[in-house]
Chains A and B, each alone.
Chain A
């Protein structure tokens, strides 16, 4: 790989318009037909899928030998059909990817491929591949929705569509980990459903969303999950996965959770510390929930706000006659968020369970997460588009509808320096993932709460603007580099939710969810041009540098030059396995280390004060064990009471210390366990 790096370095020194892989130097292309590559094309320029696959270290076989073996033993066309079969099947092990990779390495291919295949084939030429760890110039060959090959100077077979990237960035498609496209509120649903929402996502360079399933407090989790899946299968235009919210904690939920994790491909569940009397869980319930979910290997998402206090504050604010949207941030002050984050992390530490804080909206909450990470807690923080690009001063807008459009929980912080701070923490890795919490309601839906801010449906837009604003506010400002940009918009999410390296990386074998990113494009956000169906965009009028020039989802071009070409229902549900390494590796080790042990002592055989059976006293824990010793009750006390006059002057004031007070030899004889000293 070293020689490649030297090349990129050299190219980096060139102006952008010259720095392409097409050079007239020694790398003259010689075509041997379809797929033939130039000399040296196989020298480890491709991302080695094996070396990124966790737990598969050492299984890497020398390239050249395996290639020869395949060439010798199998006919190309035959192999191709085998692989097509494999990819079509839902089971997708790493070994398939390995096979594909080896297959793709063959320099000699059947002279002409079956024409029906050609639709699924794409070659992106002359781009700079940006992953979360490094950037390099390479061509990317895509077939059947998978990345088949990444390498320099790939030669396109005839009939394959070639996209010239012209030195622009090629990044893994974004993953929006937090959308609510079907969240019911009272009787209404958000105006952006799975179709509208995923369209907006794709237009912004996001090629996968993870939506929240929100079951009713008394409803079944499984049923809700199926409803969501059904709706998404019909409508979604990009791949999706689902988080399931746990509205209530009880025994039935446990069975359903187990089923969801083991059979349904869900590895993340949200619990609520807010919404008093509705979704909120007590600390005991949270403890129980975290303990259980940890055993299942799930990631626990926490909506962190102190619901009890919010309810109190809401009542207070309404009592003062404040009924407009400004009452929302006033009754959800940012310290209530920070407090809940702190508590959630404490719970996570006790249970040794990874905790993921959804919607980090304030500086103090973000700081709490950063501090906890410094102390070693396994905690992840997710700021959202709204908190990264705007602030809560708009709640005081004179325009009710505008103010109401910003209502979300936790609310946007009225402190205008918040977004800058959050970007800084995102850049340094203290916050890991960017979501959008996209949940768009129309103004008339928001108006349900026109006389009472507590009834305003909560949710803001952001799925479309997410990537753009992170680029604009963090990368273009010099806070973050392009690799970290990929990490926070895509790779970290894939890692935390166990989608990596299928998603979140440009490597052979990964899904062909790819974005060609144009760092120079400038657009002004406005509801008139957005994909979302909402009437108002909370980023209205903001200018945003950076945006997708071209978006590939499942190997298909869905967005190019500002035009969206999507097909609803093409989105697949991506199941996720439990125990993601990114979160659970540390947890597993800590489990082994963290075994408490009792002290081995002899039996205490000294005197025991006899406890009269009082009906109520503390400790609900197994308290039946309190020492039924049959010692004659308190010889000590009698001793004490007899020679000690408490009222008035003391006869023995001059005696420094009355030894009679102390059990020198306790009744029943001295024992080396009770002796003090």
Chain B
């Protein structure tokens, strides 16, 4: 498949024909690290090795022994998300610019069709926005916000023709885009047949809406009501349920936004039991906590509002980083979706109206380096895996993305492990007025970012061009998820037990009340003779008078059933 992708990229027009050589770097992939030079041409990695023979006039970057890693893939962004007539602050231009500034060279955005509207139209809309503005390669997830036969056809079309292999469904947002268990079952079954990945927003929407009304009723209207009405166990519960449904339908499951310890625990338990499930903590849950919801500053508190909420437990980020390092959680996203204070203030009197979303696309890589690698939880290879490679594998983009190898896209980052920067809204790329990581000092930052074979970040200067980002189609059946699924499908063939016909007596019954609703049309058009026989020799109706009953009423047992003994009904 590597060869195939190489051939594919050779057809790329010559406008990308920059030639670049990175000398003296240490290449870090998810499996190993080694010292080698990298030669890039036409946006692809052409050669890797020592003492490369390269054409003259090539721009050379001296890495000086620094790490060269595959560019980050932010698998979860929501740029330009429409919300009640407005859109989120960072559009595809601003958003991808932030991404590149943080060392992320590809984003995967969520298409959110308004419930009831067409998935295809929404997809086209998003693609148009992104094609116009994106500064780096992108791909798209599509959210399934309602479920019927039309949606089914659209999903089928998106998978087969449009390069979408992952679809998100919601267990929260009651009366809006929440799916029932039956719908989830159907969606998962459908996706499993088509080779798609089921992404899930896991929170119990029904209990949340009950808790929200309760909070508002007792007079809690500020942002703290958000976290109080969405306690972490509702997240864990929904994750548990989603894992159950996915395992029933044999569909790979991807839990977006793992925000709490208990949800992460459920995922790691499920993985230990062998379920195909991936967990995605986001920059916010890995870097900060939910204590800020109680800030006296309304605007600050509102800036942290996202769903599931950040956990008020301050040990959560540490715990999630540990699970990320151990491989129990697989990928990291940012769920970047920023709103201005004025937009957040839509919910100033009612926390349920605050638009949800936090920043993180720019800080994601540094945060993980700082919290996991410098603390000794994670090595550099695992760092590459959780920030880039695993995402590429899940999206079936590997090894085009997520790896430094000959033939892969020239998306890479020279990572400066010693750089220290302080996060503040004053210097971040996002248009948001506040940064939820405000004041945090992070070690590790990109020194040089190369996207599509072009240098976009060097010496602290960002040179981006809107509209150069290409849509990268994702094909179905990613091996990373589906190899196991396919094998299990073959194993999990159920067989009926071959028995002779039951020919004993059948009790008379009617389905008039209280019957089992399912498949009840099939209720045995039994021939009358059998039942009559039964009734004649075998009294069921009317309890026998207790006086004549000995300790054990032997007469009530069919020792020799009327109609003769049969080896099918005989009980021994």
Which residues of A approach B to under 8 Å, CB–CB? 184-188, 191, 193, 195, 199, 216-217, 235, 275-278, 282-284, 287-288, 306, 308-309, 311-315, 317-318, 320-324, 326-327, 330, 333, 335-336, 338-339, 342-343, 346-347, 349-350, 396-403, 405, 442-445, 447-452, 454-455, 527-531, 533, 535-536, 540, 563-564, 568, 596-599, 601, 604, 606-609, 611-612, 614, 617-623, 625-627, 634, 636-637, 640, 646-650, 653-654, 656-657, 659, 661-663, 666, 673-677
Contacts and interface: CB of A to CB of B under 8 A. Distances in A.
Contacts of A318: 518-519, 522
Nearest to B339: A609
B400 to A, nearest CB: 27
Contact of B181 (A187, A306, A650): A306
Given A308-B180, A346-B234, A640-B431, A443 B505 contact: yes
A444 B180 contact: no
Contacts of B237: 342-343, 346
Contacts of B180: 308
B225 to A, nearest CB: 7
A636 B465 CA distance: 25
Contacts of A675: 297, 299
A340 B185 CA distance: 15
Contact of B502 (A401, A597, A637): A401
A676 B233 contact: no
Chain B interface, DSSP helix/strand/loop, else mixed: loop
Given A333-B248, A451-B524, A653-B464, A187 B510 contact: yes
Contacts of B346: 608-609, 611, 626-627
A315 B347 CA distance: 45
B11 interface: no
Contacts of B132: 646-647
B175 interface: yes
B221 interface: yes
Interface of B: 84-86, 91, 93-94, 132-133, 173-176, 180-182, 185-186, 204, 206-207, 209-213, 215-216, 218-222, 224-225, 228, 231, 233-234, 236-237, 240-241, 244-245, 247-248, 294-301, 303, 340-343, 345-350, 352-353, 425-429, 431, 433-434, 438, 460-467, 494-499, 501-502, 504-511, 513-520, 522-524, 526, 534, 538, 540, 543, 546, 551-553, 556-558, 568-571
A608 B350 contact: no
Contacts of A648: 465-467
A578 to B, nearest CB: 23
Contacts of B510: 186-187
Contacts of A646: 91, 93-94, 132-133, 466
Given A601-B298, A653-B464, A676 B341 contact: yes
16 contacts: A186-B510, A186-B514, A216-B513, A283-B206, A287-B210, A311-B182, A318-B522, A336-B244, A400-B499, A444-B507, A598-B222, A621-B212, A625-B221, A625-B350, A666-B342, A676-B425
Contact of A609 (B343, B427, B514, B522): B343
Contact of A284 (B206, B295, B506, B557): B206
B206 A609 contact: no
Contacts of B303: 676
B551 A444 contact: no
B465 A450 contact: no
A540 B343 CA distance: 70
A415 to B, nearest CB: 13
Q: Which of A185, A330, A619, A663 has the most CB of B within 10 A?
A: A619
B494 A320 contact: yes
B523 A287 contact: no
Contacts of B495: 322
Contacts of B429: 657
Contacts of A275: 516
Contact of A626 (B182, B353, B557): B353
Given A342-B240, A444-B534, A529 B552 contact: yes
A623 B234 CA distance: 23
Given A604-B298, A663-B342, 7 more contacts: A277-B517, A288-B210, A401-B571, A443-B569, A598-B219, A599-B222, A620-B174
Given A530-B552, A607-B345, A614-B84, A622 B431 contact: no
B345 A657 contact: no
A654 B526 CA distance: 84
B297 A596 contact: no
Nearest to A535: B557
A400 B228 CA distance: 53
A271 to B, nearest CB: 15
A320 B496 CA distance: 9
A612 B84 contact: yes
Q: Residue among B209, B463, B552 with the most chain A CB within 10 A?
A: B552
B342 A618 contact: no
Contacts of A199: 551
A444 B505 contact: yes
A614 B353 CA distance: 13
B538 A626 contact: no
A608 B248 CA distance: 46
A604 B296 CA distance: 11
Contacts of A188: 507, 509, 540
A400 B569 contact: yes
A309 B438 contact: no
A614 B85 contact: yes
Nearest to A333: B248
Contacts of B241: 306, 339, 342-343
A676 B299 contact: yes
B438 A677 contact: yes
A368 B186 CA distance: 26
A653 B463 contact: yes
A283 B552 CA distance: 45
B224 A346 contact: no
Contact of A647 (B295, B467, B498, B517): B467
A278 B516 contact: yes
Contacts of B236: 342, 346
A218 B163 CA distance: 51
> Which 5 A-B pairs give the minimum distances between C-beta atoms?
A308-B181, A186-B509, A283-B206, A339-B244, A444-B505
Contacts of B215: 596
Contact of A535 (B295, B349, B571): B571
Contacts of B556: 191, 442, 533, 535
A609 B342 contact: yes
B333 to A, nearest CB: 22
Given A401-B569, A443-B558, A448 B494 contact: no
A282 B504 contact: no
Nearest to B299: A674
B518 to A, nearest CB: 5
Contacts of A608: 342, 345-346, 348
B571 A611 contact: no
Contacts of A677: 425, 438
B133 to A, nearest CB: 6
A442 B507 contact: yes
Nearest to B245: A309
B204 A283 contact: yes
Contacts of A330: 494
A614 B209 CA distance: 20
Contact of B497 (A235, A338, A398, A445): A398
A448 B499 contact: no
A585 B345 CA distance: 42
A236 to B, nearest CB: 12
Given A350-B233, A444-B505, A444-B540, A647 B133 contact: yes
A442 B231 contact: no
Nearest to B265: A371
A306 B464 contact: no
Contacts of A311: 182, 517-518
A627 B496 contact: no
Nearest to A619: B352
B353 A186 contact: no
Most A CB contacts (10 A, CB to CB) among B234, B425, B426, B518 go to B518
